[in-house]
Amino acid sequence: MSSRTHRVKFTYEDYLLFPEDGKRHELIDGDHFMTPSPSTRHQRISLKLATAFEFFLKNNRLGEVFDAPMDVVLSETDVVQPDLLFISSGRASIVTDKNIQGAPDLVVEILSDGTRKTDEVIKRKLYERHGISEYWVVDPELETVKVYRTSEKGYTRAAELSRETNDTLNTPLLPGFQIPLSEIFA
């Protein structure tokens, strides 16, 4: 007779009961992930990107940008709080008063101590599986940005940009949007 260990899968209903303790709580495939609040460098980078998005979107009215904490409910067992996310005007119906119900067009994660594997592997696979068109992984330590875009074969790395080579970040989702990495990492 063999014993079987049953893993508890958390749902969005469980997620709503997690404490508001200043930590980021997320569910990925029903597993609970928790990270402490980010560093000041992380927050500076997030603010610079959010400001650039907001300024561009104010003048171009292509959609809306949100920053963390903002619940993105991808499924009953997948609830994340990306650092930044963009939702195009054509998909505005997924924005509710409480959260985002579905896949944003673009998600940005800024690496922190302890989140590298989650952001670069686990979340990349999650975002790909849920059809998020574009995913940026911002690395404050290396001063790089990896850009993943959906293709027929899933995500492909469309670019790996570096401050060292004076690269500029842009996306076909926002024609005309540009921000030099030297500004992001200043």
> Tens digit of pLDDT per residue, the chain (186 long)?
444 555 779 999 999 999 888 888 999 999 999 988 889 999 999 999 999 999 999 999 999 999 999 999 999 999 999 999 999 999 999 999 999 999 999 999 999 988 899 999 999 999 999 999 999 999 999 999 999 999 999 999 999 999 999 999 999 999 999 999 999 999
CA distance 170 to 161: 10
CB atoms within 10 A of CB 154: 11
Query: Would you say domain 12-184 falls under CATH 3.90.1570.10?
Result: yes
Q: Which of 68, 78, 62, 70 is nearest to 130 (CA)?
A: 78
Side chain identity at residue 100, one-letter code: I
Looking at residue 3, its pLDDT comes to 47
Q: Where are the beta strands (DSSP E) in 36-92?
A: 63-67, 72-75, 78-80, 84-88
Looking at residue 5, its pLDDT comes to 57
Q: Where are the beta strands (DSSP E) in the chain?
A: 24-28, 31-35, 63-67, 72-75, 78-80, 84-88, 100-101, 106-110, 134-139, 144-151, 154-162, 168-169, 179-180
The total number of residues written for the chain in this structure: 186
Domain ranges of the chain: 12-184
